[in-house]
């Protein structure tokens, strides 16, 4: 239900609006009614309201003043104004304050039903869009550490020498553009295991990185796992320091965090002397000098694996409708062409091949169930044309869907004899 506030200085009009319109059927609930805009604005100060329907001319505070109050405070409230006069100046002022509708009295029942049906549809759309935006923001916050870690790993591997690509990847990773001009340093951490402790697992690495992460007004520390599963810290500061000065300063800043981690995991974290550069561009040009051993062709960074797995999971959830590479890449907040390369490197096949194979695997499972016609199977796995489905099925499986159906039925019959 959406909340509705009614304002009119004539009691019989207020009562008529409340009593003779089936508000619940339209999706609205009348939360209050007042005879003047002064009472209405006081109510708005304490309560959020979705829609206001108000007379223009009232004793103290007019409907236009209420609309101006809503407009000046950028409240997410829609305003419908009523008037007994066809005044052009009123209408012009109402339009300037984003009033949804300007209606003349007496209002026809059909007209108010039409208007509020439209407003409900508009509110439904806005609520849906807001929910989708919130979900996207929640997902982005979950995935940002992966995007950042992947960016840092590629940066230090000397793979982001192109300035445009480097800055684009920074944007994708949610890293402030201002960081690009700051002094930046990379400090690798040496993990020394105390007696009786074994190698750290993935969860331990994630806990260490979460603890060491710092976003401060004067500096930022981004922990990441580099190639060779080496723990590193990328530090952005406003102030230039030499490598040795940076090491001393950083150890002092992180001393409490380091001691906490050493006690928790039974390890000693030793910071190696950082490599410092005037900005990201200079680091990108020299990063290969201090990057640890490159990948051997079989090892894949954990951040890449996680991003691709998220993409695969999205495909498995949405393969039964029209699904594009752009949509899946957008889900993991990556450029489509870059995600496509990552996807093929990890899975060995490209996006369209994986999507097709996923659809065919599901199609074969549905055919084996024996409860659907071929065209129904085609629709359920995301093919817009049953003819195209049959063509692809024959190319990939070696027989048509009908032939596969007959084969499965024959096989089942033989097994039950």
Q: How far apart are CA 396 and CA 393, in angstroms?
A: 5
The DSSP H or E segment spanning 261 is helix 243-265
Q: Interior CA angle at 350 toward 347 and 353, to 5°? A: 105
Residue with tokens 């190639």: 227
Which pair of tokens denotes residue 323? 């699904």
Q: How far apart are CA 220 and CA 269, in angstroms?
A: 19
Residue 295's pLDDT is 41
Per-residue pLDDT of the chain (417 residues; tens, 9 = 90+): 999 999 998 898 889 899 889 999 999 999 999 999 999 999 999 999 999 999 888 888 888 888 889 888 999 999 998 887 666 566 667 776 778 787 778 888 898 999 999 999 999 999 999 998 898 888 888 888 888 888 887 887 778 888 888 888 888 888 876 777 888 888 888 777 765 555 667 777 778 888 888 877 788 888 887 666 678 888 888 888 888 888 888 888 888 888 888 888 877 788 888 888 888 888 888 765 444 444 444 345 677 888 899 999 999 999 999 999 999 998 988 888 888 988 998 899 999 999 999 999 999 999 998 888 999 999 999 998 999 999 999 999 999 999 998 888 877 776 666
- CB count, 10 Å around CB of 373? 11
- The residue among 145, 288, 274, 143 whose CA lies nearest residue 205 is 145
Residue 96's pLDDT is 67
Residue 27's pLDDT is 95
- CB count, 10 Å around CB of 57? 15
Q: b or e along 76-104 (b: 16 or more beta carbons within 10 Å of the residue's beta carbon)?
A: ebbbbbbbeeeeeebbebbeebebbbbbe
The number of C-alpha atoms within 13 Å of 287 and in the hemisphere containing its C-beta is 27
- Rg (Cα) of the chain, in Å, rounded? 31
Residue 120's pLDDT is 95
Q: How far apart are CA 316 and CA 359, in angstroms?
A: 9
- The residue among 194, 214, 308 whose CA lies nearest residue 262 is 194
3-state secondary structure of 215: strand
């Amino acid at each position: 239900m959406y909340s509705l506030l009614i304002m009119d200085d004539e009691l019989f009009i207020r009562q008529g609006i409340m009593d003779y319109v089936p508000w619940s059927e339209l999706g609205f609930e009348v939360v209050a009614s007042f005879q003047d805009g002064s009472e209405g604005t006081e109510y708005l100060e304490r309560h959020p309201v979705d829609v206001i329907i108000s007379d223009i001319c009232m004793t103290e505070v007019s409907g236009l003043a209420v609309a101006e109050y809503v407009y000046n405070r950028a409240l997410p409230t829609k305003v419908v104004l009523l008037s007994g006069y066809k005044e052009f100046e009123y209408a012009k002022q109402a339009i300037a304050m984003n009033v949804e509708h300007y209606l003349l009295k007496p209002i026809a029942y059909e007209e108010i039903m039409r208007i509020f049906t439209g407003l409900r549809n508009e509110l439904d759309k806005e609520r849906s869009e807001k929910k989708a935006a919130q979900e996207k923001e929640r997902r982005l916050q979950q995935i940002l550490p992966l995007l950042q870690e992947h960016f840092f790993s590629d940066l230090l591997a000397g793979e982001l020498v192109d300035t445009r690509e480097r800055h684009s990847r920074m944007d994708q990773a949610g890293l402030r553009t201002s960081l690009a001009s700051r002094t930046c340093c990379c400090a690798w951490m040496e993990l020394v295991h105390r007696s009786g402790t074994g190698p750290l697992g993935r969860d331990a690495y994630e806990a260490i990185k979460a603890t060491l992460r710092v976003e401060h007004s004067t500096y930022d520390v981004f922990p990441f796992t580099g190639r060779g599963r080496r723990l590193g810290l990328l530090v952005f500061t406003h102030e230039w320091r030499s490598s040795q000065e940076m090491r001393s300063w950083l150890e002092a800043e992180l001393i409490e965090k380091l001691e906490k981690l050493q006690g928790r995991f039974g390890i000693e974290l030793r910071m190696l002397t950082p490599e410092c550069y005037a900005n990201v561009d200079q680091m990108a040009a020299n990063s290969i000098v201090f990057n640890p051993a490159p990948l051997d062709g079989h090892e894949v960074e954990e951040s890449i694996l996680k991003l691709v797995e998220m993409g695969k999971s999205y495909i498995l959830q949405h393969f039964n409708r029209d699904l594009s590479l752009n949509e899946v890449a957008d889900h993991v907040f990556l450029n489509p062409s870059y995600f496509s390369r990552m996807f093929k490197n990890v899975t060995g096949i490209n996006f369209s091949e994986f999507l097709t194979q996923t659809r065919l695997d599901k199609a074969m499972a549905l055919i084996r169930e024996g409860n659907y016609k071929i065209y129904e199977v085609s629709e359920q796995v995301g093919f817009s044309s049953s003819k195209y489905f049959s063509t692809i099925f024959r190319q990939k499986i070696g027989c048509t869907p009908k032939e596969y159906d007959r084969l499965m039925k024959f096989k089942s019959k033989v097994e039950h004899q």
